[in-house]
Amino acid sequence: MPTTRETILAALHARLSALPATALRSDVLPERVPTAGLLILRDGEPGEPEVTLSPLRYHYQHRAEIEAVVQGAARDTAFDTLCASIGAALATDRTLNGLCDWVEAEAPRPVDLAVEGAAGLKAAVIQVILHYSTDDPLA
């Protein structure tokens, strides 16, 4: 049986997979970036939980990361569209079907990357904060 953390990350990946961009999980950057863009979900850091004792609960603000990458001549517009689609996907249900208390993304910090012999890339790491609670830090 998967842990609470894994269940939430899988649900976030499923939400990203519904977007036109290709969504991967904990994968390496492929040689080619798809036309609609590429998203790579990284597990990130659960951080130190707040603890309540009665009943015993661990309250996390888990910081997952989405690497968003686009390539091509119109990469500024494509990147903006990709980020907006991530925001819209998260806004449709901020609890991931009741798995989280709240899901929110931070603004991206984009960078332009030159690629020798090909169109440049525009990429950013988007922090996604997953607020959830569990009765065991390993469950």
Per-residue model confidence as pLDDT tens digits over 43-84: 999 999 999 999 999 999 999 999 999 998 899 999 999 999
- pTM of the complete model: 0.94
pLDDT at 4: 96
Cβ within 8 Å of residue 68, ≥6 positions away: 21, 37, 38, 39, 79, 82, 83, 86, 108, 123, 124, 125, 126
Domains delineated in the chain: 4-134 (3.30.2000.10)
Of 39, 65, 46, 41, whose CA–CA distance to 4 is shortest? 46
